[in-house]
Amino acid sequence: MKFRQLQALKKKSYAAFASGVRLDVPEAEPAQLDPISLAFVGDAYYALYMRRHLVGTGIPNVQVLHTLAAEFVSAKVQAIIYRQIKENLNEEEQAVCQRARNAYSQTPKSASVAEYHDSTALEALVGFLVLSDQKERLQAVMEQIYTHTQEYCRMAHP
């Protein structure tokens, strides 16, 4: 998207948000949304989930909480978790993840291309489950993610 197009879209988006109306674009089912948009929602949910669990451990220092949260939601760790749970996903979830892995986005310097693609797939999966209101499945997937994150922590920080 060119700069002027982006600026025009931002202006319309601010106006739509401020007035509580939807932009004039076709509504899509969560499985049909742009996978990067799914990952955007999934990233937020994932981070909040991890932060709630970290606070629940009683860690009294915000700096320590932030350090652990940043590591556990990093592309590197999310990629590890994705590789461990991907076999447990149903066909629709696998399709969402595959679309997300193939979606174009810039890769941060802190992760390899493969790690970034896998972490994007995991975030898109979470976003898809949130937006499709699959509460039980979301809870089951997040419990798997949490368990594997604990395993990662035991291995990386013995």
* Catalytic residue (choose from 24, 43, 118, 133): 43
What is the spatial distance between Cα 43 and Cα 157, in angstroms, rounded to a whole number?
24
Q: 49-64 burial string, b = 16+ CB within 10 Å, else e? A: bbbebbeeeeeeeeee
Q: Cβ distance 141 to 85 under 8 Å?
A: yes
Q: Which residues contact 147 (CB under 8 A, 6 or more apart)?
A: none
DSSP E strands in the chain: the ranges are none
Tell me, yes or no, if 34 is annotated catalytic. Answer: no
For 81, the token pair is 């978790």
Kindly list the catalytic residues.
Answer: 43
